[in-house]
Each structure stands twice: as C-alpha cells, then as structure tokens.
C-alpha cells in the first residue's frame, strides 16, 4: 500500500492511472477505521483497479462546540485495517494541504441538507460537501463508496454529484453493526460502559418501528411515537430527533402512501456522545 500526503502528488498519481484506463474507487473517511469502513474498502476492491482510502478529519464539518480536537486518531491501526481490506493508496492530507492559506470556497446544498442533521448541525453539510467535492477532484474516482449509516450524508453527496454533473457513481453500502445491533462508529469509543449497554436501544427502537410499519401502520405520528417511546425507556438519553421520512426525498407527510419507502432516522445523545442511526423500510 502506498502512502500519499500531498494533494498535488495524489492528483498526479490518479491522472496517470486514469490515462492507463484504470478504474478508480475512492473511500472517503475520517479515520479511526472499523469494520464499517473496511466493508466500504472491500466493496471498492471488488469494483475497482485502484482503491484509494482517504483519511481526513475535516475541520470544516465540525462546529466550534463539537469534538474536532478529541476525534479519535490511530494511524498505525488504520494502515493495517485499510491494507487488509484491499486498499492500494492511503491518502492522508493535512488541513493545510486541503485548505491552504486563502482558501475561500464553500459548497452549500439546499433541500436535503436542511432537516434533521441540518437543524442540529447547521454548518455540517456545507463542510461535508466542500471536502467531498475537493476529495473527488483530488482522487478522480469512477466510483465513490459511502455508508448508509450516514443516510442524509449519502443524499447530500448524491445531490452534489447530480447538481454539479461530477462524472462518478456514488455506491451506498449497508450499515455494519456490532452483534447487539449498535451501528459501528468511530465515536462509539466515547461511550462509558454503562452508556454502551444503553446504546442498544437505538437499534431496538428502529426495529420496533419497522415491525409497526410492516403490520400496516402508515401514520407518521404513530411511527415516530413508537421510536421515541422505545428510546425513552432508557434514562439519561436525550433525543435530538426520532423521525420517519420519505426514503427518497426526506419529506414528512402526515400519512405515508402504501408503496412509499420510509426511512427511520435517529439522533440521540448519551452522556457527551451523539449517536445517529437509521433504517429503511420499503
Ligand atoms: P466517517 O469516518 O465516520 O466519516 O465515515 C466514513 C465513511 O464510512 C462514511 O461513508 C460512513 O457512512 C461510512 N461508515 C461509517 N460507519 C459505518 C458503518 N457502521 N457501516 C457502514 N459504513 C459506515
């Protein structure tokens, strides 16, 4: 596996590979890799000649009160996980490399960025769209691999690609979970032992709402009530949102049509840790 840190070296490398007709797969991450990330790399390996994993903790997508400085980092471990999963190039630019002095561009996407995460983290998706656009230009992938774990992020990135006619395909990969259902996340290391046990309630509440929908419930209110009631059986947990929305548009009708895909979206706080999860019911 090669290690590249310079943006210009990355771009030169990839332009040469493209001239040779190589298919490039990119997996953008913030590092502290786990099996969720590894599943993306494996998927990229299966569909590309050259797999580039990027590790960049993007300051633009963190608000000043968020966990940018304490975000977990472990380069040695990341190297070994990426290599085992079949990565060819690990691209780890510094903030100065990504945002050199005088950097003034911001990409802001309307619509899908506004609800849910957009309400609680108002500048987050601008940061995501801006860094993802730059990473796409630096790595020039044919396909870029993202996790369904960050459902709204996938929608924002797809919108970016469609609106700006960026010539690549976004591949959305299934959420990898721990045995007890907790979605894998770099932030899970923040959880105390007690909160780690409580965190299984997210998956339980998604499943409870899924069961209700599968029994024929289409009223959004009733679906959201079971999500919230299940979550609140755990004390010490705060709900940012627990919502049901159209899986394709994120619109929230009073009642879903029989054939309408529904995405259940959760964001909760346990102690100082914020967890998100989702489940699509079609
Ligand atoms: P992050 O490092 O958290 O920014 O995540 C990098 C990529 O990995 C994003 O596309 C995430 O959606 C994806 N990802 C994170 N956790 C998981 C998971 N548990 N299963 C699948 N993909 C994931």
For the CA of 184, the nearest atom of ligand 1: 19
Q: Which residue ranges make up each domain of the chain?
A: 2-173, 186-281
The model carries a pTM of: 0.98
Q: What is the pLDDT of residues 130-178, one digit of tens each?
A: 999 999 999 999 999 999 999 999 999 999 999 999 999 999 999 999 9
Closest atom of ligand 1 to CA, residue 40: 22
pLDDT of residue 153: 98
Mean pLDDT computed over 210-237: 98
Question: pLDDT band for position 8 (50/70/90)?
Answer: very high
CB 62 within 8 A of CB 36: no
How long a stretch of residues is the chain?
Answer: 282
The pLDDT value given to residue 169: 98
d(CA 158, CA 152): 10
Whether 219 is a known active-site residue: answer no
Q: Sheet of 143-147: strands edge to edge?
A: 2-4, 89-91, 50-55, 24-29, 143-147, 169-173
176 within ligand 1 shell (Cβ under 6 A): yes
Q: What are the residues whose beta carbons fall under 8 Å from the beta carbon of 148, sequence distance 6 or more?
A: 154, 172, 173, 174, 175, 278, 280
- What is the CATH number assigned to the segment(s) 186-281? 3.30.1300.10
Q: Is 172 in contact with 147 (CB distance < 8 Å)?
A: yes
Residue 186 CB–ligand 1 contact under 6 Å: yes
CATH of region 2-173: 3.40.50.620
Residue pLDDT, tens place only, 14-47 = 999 999 999 999 999 999 999 999 999 999 999 9
Any atom of ligand 1 within 6 Å of the Cβ of 51: no
């Amino acid at each position: 596996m090669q290690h590249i840190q310079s943006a210009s070296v990355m771009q030169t490398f990839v332009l040469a590979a493209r001239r040779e007709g190589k298919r490039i797969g990119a997996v953008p991450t913030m590092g502290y890799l786990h099996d969720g990330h590894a599943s993306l790399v494996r998927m990229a390996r299966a569909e590309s000649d050259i797999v580039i994993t990027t590790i960049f903790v993007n300051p633009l997508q963190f608000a000043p009160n968020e966990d940018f400085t304490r975000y977990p980092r472990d380069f040695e471990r990341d190297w070994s996980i990426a290599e085992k999963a079949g990565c060819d190039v690990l691209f780890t630019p510094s903030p100065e490399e990504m945002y050199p002095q005088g950097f003034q561009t911001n990409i802001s996407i309307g619509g899908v960025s506004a609800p849910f995460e957009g309400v609680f983290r108002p500048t987050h998706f601008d940061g995501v769209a801006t860094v993802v656009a730059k990473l796409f230009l630096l790595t020039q992938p044919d396909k870029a691999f993202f996790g369904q774990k960050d459902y709204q992020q996938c929608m924002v990135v797809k919108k970016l690609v469609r609106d700006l006619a960026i010539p690549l395909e976004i591949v959305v990969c299934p959420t990898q979970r721990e045995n007890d259902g907790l979605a894998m996340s770099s932030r899970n290391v923040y959880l105390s032992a007690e909160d780690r046990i409580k965190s299984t309630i997210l998956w339980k509440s998604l499943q409870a709402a899924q069961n209700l929908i599968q029994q024929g419930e289409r009223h959004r209110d009733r679906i959201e009530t079971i999500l919230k009631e299940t979550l609140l059986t755990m004390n010490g947990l705060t709900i940012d949102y627990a919502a049901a929305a159209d899986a394709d548009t994120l619109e929230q009708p009073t009642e879903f049509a029989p054939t309408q895909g529904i995405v259940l979206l959760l964001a909760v706080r346990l102690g100082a840790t914020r967890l998100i999860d989702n489940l699509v019911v079609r």
